[in-house]
């Protein structure tokens, strides 16, 4: 889920940056460079610093020469939550499952979690259900549920997904039952018009 967090901390501005532009703009650039590609278990994946809301008076520490500004700012983060339902697009398919782009991160759907059916993998990178004949391929937009999150390697967090429950899976699968239900109703309406 995406969050907008309000954070307060001291930001160090080196003397060579003084006078370049407005202090808020300088601090915004510093914050975005500090939080670029920043990932933490507590905050999630930092997308970027949205705005600098308040900048206090600068404090100079003897022997440093830089000014430290008490700063309040907002940032946008993506923090996946267990059991959260997410939308994404299939970016890659392998013999062991599919990868889905969630925007800020990629999640992995193991082949056993791709659908409630026996799944086979074809050489053309397609997963197919044996009985349902459902097909999953690169570029399909899907709805999945988060079942595992790992921050063991902070540089590369892992998100495990499932699409086995009702109303989950490729969006074209979700439209298919509705079309089958609507077909008899359309036939009845057409027959009624003929009479």
pLDDT tens across 39-84, in order? Answer: 988 888 999 898 999 999 888 888 888 899 999 999 999 999 999 9
What percent of the chain shows pLDDT beyond 90?
Answer: 40
User: What is the distance between the alpha carbons of residues 168 and 95, in angstroms, rounded to a whole number?
Assistant: 21
Whole-prediction pTM value?
0.72
Cα-flanking dihedrals φ and ψ of residue 22, to 5°?
A: -55, 140
CA 170 → CA 42, 111, 144, 162, distances in Å? 31, 14, 9, 12
Smallest CA-to-CA distance from 115 within 39, 186, 65, 166 is with 166
Contact 71, 11 (CB under 8 A): yes
- Rg for the chain, CA atoms, rounded: 25
- Assign 130 a pLDDT band (cuts: 50, 70, 90): confident
Looking at residue 181, what is its pLDDT? Answer: 46
- Per DSSP, the three-state class of 37 is coil
Average pLDDT over residues 148-170: 89
pLDDT tens across 98-121, in order? Answer: 999 998 889 999 988 888 888 888
User: What is the distance between the alpha carbons of residues 82 and 12, in angstroms, rounded to a whole number?
Assistant: 36
Q: What domains are there in the chain, each with its CATH number?
A: 2-78 (3.30.1490.120), 85-174 (2.40.50.140)
Q: Tell me which H or E stretch contains 53.
A: strand 44-60
């Amino acid at each position: 889920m995406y969050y907008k967090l309000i954070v307060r901390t001291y930001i160090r501005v080196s003397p060579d940056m003084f006078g370049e532009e407005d202090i808020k703009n300088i601090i915004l650039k510093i914050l975005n460079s500090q939080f670029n590609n920043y990932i933490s278990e507590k905050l999630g994946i930092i997308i970027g610093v949205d705005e600098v809301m308040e900048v206090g008076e600068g404090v100079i520490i003897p022997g440093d020469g830089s000014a430290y500004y008490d700063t309040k700012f907002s940032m946008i983060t993506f923090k996946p939550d267990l059991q959260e339902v997410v939308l994404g697009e299939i970016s890659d398919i392998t013999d062991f499952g599919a990868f889905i782009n969630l925007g800020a991160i990629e999640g992995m759907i193991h082949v056993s979690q791709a659908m409630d059916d026996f799944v086979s993998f074809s050489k053309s990178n397609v997963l197919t259900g044996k009985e349902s004949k459902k097909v999953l391929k690169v570029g399909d937009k899907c709805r999945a549920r988060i079942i595992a999150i790992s921050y063991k390697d902070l540089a590369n967090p892992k998100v495990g997904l499932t699409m086995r429950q009702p109303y989950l899976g490729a969006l074209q699968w979700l439209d298919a039952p509705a079309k089958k239900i609507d077909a008899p109703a359309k036939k009845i309406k057409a027959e009624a018009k003929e009479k």
